[in-house]
Chains A and B, each alone.
Chain A
Amino acid sequence: MPYLEEEYDVVVVGAGHAGCEAALASARLGLNTIIFTVSMDSVAMMPCNPNVGGSSKGHLVRELDALGGEMGKNIDKTYIQSKMLNSSKGPAVHSLRAQADKKNYSAAMKETLENTDNLTLRQAEVSELILGEDGRSVVGVKTFSGAIYHAKAVILATGTYLKARCIYGDVVNHTGPNGLMAANHLSQSMSDVGIEIRRFKTGTPARLDKRSIDFTQMEEQKGDEHVVPFSFTNTEDDIKRDQISCWLCYTNEETHEIIRNNISRSPLFSGVIEGTGPRYCPSIEDKVMKFPDKNRHQIFIEPEGENTNEMYMGGMSSSLPEDVQYAMIRSMKGLEHAKIVRNAYAIEYDCINAINLKPTLEFKDVAGLYGAGQINGSSGYEEAAVQGLMAGINAALKILGRNPLVLDRSQAYIGVLIDDLVTKETREPYRMMTSRAEYRLLLRQDNADLRLTDIGHDIGLIDDERYKKFCHKRELINSEIDRLDSTMVGANKSIQKFLTSMGSTTLKTAASLSELIRRPELSYEAIAPIDPERNELPEDVIDQINISIKYKGYIDRQKEQVNQFKKLENRRIPEDIDYNDVTNLRKEARQKLMLIKPENIGQASRISGVSPADVTVLLIYLKSRK
């Protein structure tokens, strides 16, 4: 018997990385929020790799933190190893990655949720969406047990649970990740209200027993000595701890031979798996078959936590049968006696086509309904978390009658991610990469706070105290750069002597301190002896000064490109446009435009199948309509 249990402002379905951020954002903005999970023990669970961040994903987490999200703070509490990847490369591609203690990560996030005002946690399977009488807006959900929860907004963050199937060899388990219960009913209800359902696939490697591994045969991978926190609210001293190592080992020709001999037993080859898998995270059998010239592949053995013997095998995801998994793992040096704790498996799940979403992540055809995370066709904890945050913020803003928050491609990786999802039809789980960001020199992980804290404060997720600190930092950076730009040093003896001593060429005429800092062999720190007037500054401020001055030429060029980009982005397309009236569009362009309903000319120009000439036609139409 259905019965009305309670009324909420916001319902969040799923308590993974997207759901947690969505629920926290909504509750923190003062809305009465409830979050559902099929298991209270799987809140913020990491069913695959035991780390947060990495190339471009680290950027996402820093941005999320600047906007007032939780993931950065949570990983700072529970990390066991931290590394800045690409530190020898340009600042745009420095990427922070931390190994997590999975259990602690999950527990810490759950604790945060439990202690957040306005937030209710509930273990239940949401099985139905309830639409209003107009059939075009959501008014609540129903659980499998028959309870009805009315809400002004519903955020779907179902991850990989919808009609999930876990597969290895010919074994098929109808469960979600880690053997958890799948959510088998909601897809049908979504389909009933007209939402297009797709099927994606991803996979995870085996976990091994630490005691069965011979680490003397492997290369140790230590964390960085100097740890950079994910959250801008933390300093190194706040989070410093003893770090735990990862280990590097390799597959070999024998491993590959085993895979080739058994490839016919892979469910991918036999057709058991129907979903589309990601190319960027191929299974080991994919790698071996696709790149026959490579005689070995790197495998990283990573601890799943501080107090467990389970070790994750990064780079070894597979859906081959159990006996083959044993054989290939044991063919590797150091793993001759390895014991498997959990098998590798592929997982298939239902998701939506994100082109049916607005850039706010609200469904175009169902008002008040939002999608966030893997259900939107993305992949990765970080990608999920930022979508959760944005969906939570936008659901709240809408209920509060405020303007929505949409970040564009020049503001944040979050903007790139969501724009790609809602504009381009992704045919595989979407993963962030720095190369997807056109303006990556501006979208650095080190300046995420400078880019987004204003917005986070404005939204209401950054408190005044933090904001004040941030403004002070910004002021220090700007005034010091101004001073360096305007402080001139002459070509006098002591300066020339200093420059020679630094291996730098001498001056012909006077130069500003900034010009000297710009020289590859010099830096802000290096010119201290000829800059007696400077005050002592914090390290993160000095970093910003160095980067802003040293890369000024490149940064200015990107800023100019952003100006061009903004002009098109600011030309809005009215929601009531009928593309049938735009007589000169080519057919393919018309179909795509009708399908995707871009919000502005910039977005329209990024749709594949819409040519520059189509965009011109559209512009002329819009102009003549006025």
Chain B
Amino acid sequence: MFLTDTICAIATGMGNAGIGIIRISGSEAINIASKVFKPANDKKVVKTMKSYTAAFGGVYDGDNMIDEGILLLMKGPHTYTCEDVCELQCHGGVHVLKEVLEAVIKAGARIAEPGEFTKRAFLNGRIDMSQAESVMDIINAKNDFAVKSSLVQLKGELKDRITEMRDTILYNTAFIESALDDPEHYSLEGYPQKLRVIVDNMVDNVDKLLATYDNGRVLKEGIKTVIAGKPNAGKSSLLNLLLGEDRAIVTEIEGTTRDTLEEVVNINGIILNIVDTAGIRSTDDVVEKIGVDKALKNVDNADLILYVVDGSKQLDDNDSQIISHIKGRNVITVINKSDLDVVVDKLLISEELPGDIIEISAKYGDGKEELYNILNDKFFSGQLQYNDELYITNSRHKDELIKTRESLSKVIESIDMGMEEDFFSIDLLDAYEHLGMILGETMRDDLADKIFEEFCMGK
């Protein structure tokens, strides 16, 4: 349930900083901290720590120590959220932070929504309206966005697998419930053993899904977008245009961007994780070559490629090389320098890259709105989606998957203990709800509908 449970998040930026903080807030915060943090001093007990005191110790996932760090414990109402708050200061590496966050989730917290700490602070009377309005904006954007995008956000195999699992759970729960509701028509004789096999299978599936997320990438929220093109086509100018500031170094000298730059931009609610790459060309310069190789690698991993073409020049060998490399991918061709005479052969490009093509002037900002519209259309039509393996989405999904597995394990436990069948329903439905959270779907009246649809009820 929202608002009443305990939430957690990585409170520091996602770069490779020296220190990273995980913040936990809610009525269970101290309890959760006591599960994942063991003070180095044996005599110290987390639950009896005074407010606004710290302890040094180990952070654990079960018996397994993940990191060493400091626990700062603050008791409500004298905290930012007015709830009990615990902060775990760990080593800053992304991988370590991720593991700590997962341990915290396993211990009972859930990932916070954007702005949720502030939201709680407001609802608990900690901050005033003017501060809250900005939070409202975030929540509101999210609301709008979630509704429009929930159908397209999650596609492909993950969605199929989760939907399939949910169907299986619902069907089996409906069967149990039909038998309980109408015991004279349906018998549960021998059913627990059958269900055991089905649930075992589902646990395997969940484990497999969870395993695919443990790949330790450098992760950020957003659609992985790569700006690619030959040197001096205007890639960095495009990035600056999207960012609205001079972040990348722009010069007239080819090959200025020797490395890759990463930025996160929010365009009408769609979050792009943009990588600006070095210009791609054949080169003998060793340093530049590293940049080019990296650029090509980034292109290979991208969800969306913004291919920047210098409109004032004819296509050359470098362009051909790039085009053949990105052919068949999700590409928007951005013909830059529309302020100059556009001489490039657009027909030729569209034959090779049949996606969207637009002309812009990164320098003067012409065509920006059109680019935004294309991004919007692509997103809401489902051609563009968050990479499921990206961090925040991933973590939220992972959170729910972990909880799904826990609920399914409890079903198995109940079966093995020889509990009566009605106990299975409780945990099956919990698993169903957690999977639903990934798809943005809630329970509502699914079960009753399923019972009537699949099973013939008497009287």
Name A residues whose Cβ lies closer than 8 Å to a Cβ of B.
49, 55-56, 85-86, 88-90, 92-93, 279-282, 287, 290-291, 294, 297-298, 300, 314-315, 317, 424, 433-436, 440-441, 520, 554, 558, 564-565, 567-568, 584, 586, 608, 611-617, 619-620, 623-624
Contacts and interface: CB of A to CB of B under 8 A. Distances in A.
Contacts of A613: 139, 142-143, 146-147
B2 A611 contact: no
Nearest to A205: B459
Contacts of B143: 584, 586, 611, 613-614, 616-617
A434 B146 contact: no
A520 B416 CA distance: 11
A441 B426 contact: yes
Interface in B424-459: 425-426, 442, 444-445, 447-448, 451-452, 456-459
B204 interface: no
Interface stretch (B85-93, B157-165, B175-183, B303-311): B175-183
Contact of B459 (A291, A315, A617, A623): A315
Nearest to A290: B456
Given A282-B456, A520-B418, A616 B451 contact: no
B453 to A, nearest CB: 8
A426 to B, nearest CB: 10
B119 interface: yes
B456 A565 contact: no
Contact of B146 (A55, A287, A297, A611): A611
Contact of A85 (B183, B422, B445): B183
Contact of A520 (B119, B183, B417, B442): B417
Nearest to A612: B2
A93 B422 contact: yes
A568 B3 contact: yes
B294 to A, nearest CB: 39
A435 B419 CA distance: 17
Nearest to B420: A90
**Shortest beta-carbon contacts, A-B, top 5:** A613-B143, A90-B420, A279-B452, A435-B177, A90-B422
B269 to A, nearest CB: 13
B129 interface: yes
A568 B1 contact: yes
A566 B442 CA distance: 19
B2 A615 contact: yes
Contacts of A616: 2-3, 119, 139, 143
B123 interface: yes
Given A433-B177, A434-B177, A623 B452 contact: no
B128 to A, nearest CB: 9
A102 to B, nearest CB: 16
A623 B123 CA distance: 6
Contacts of B37: none
B9 to A, nearest CB: 17
Interface centre among A291, A612, A614 (most CB of B within 10 A): A612
B316 interface: no
Contacts of B135: 620
Contacts of B459: 49, 280-281, 314-315, 317
B182 A55 contact: yes
Interface in B1-16: 1-5
Nearest to A89: B420
Interface centre among A49, A55, A613, A614 (most CB of B within 10 A): A613
A441 B422 CA distance: 9
A584 B447 CA distance: 31
17 contacts: A56-B181, A90-B419, A297-B456, A298-B184, A314-B458, A317-B459, A435-B448, A554-B423, A565-B1, A567-B3, A586-B144, A608-B444, A611-B147, A612-B2, A613-B143, A616-B2, A620-B136
B452 A287 contact: no
B12 to A, nearest CB: 25
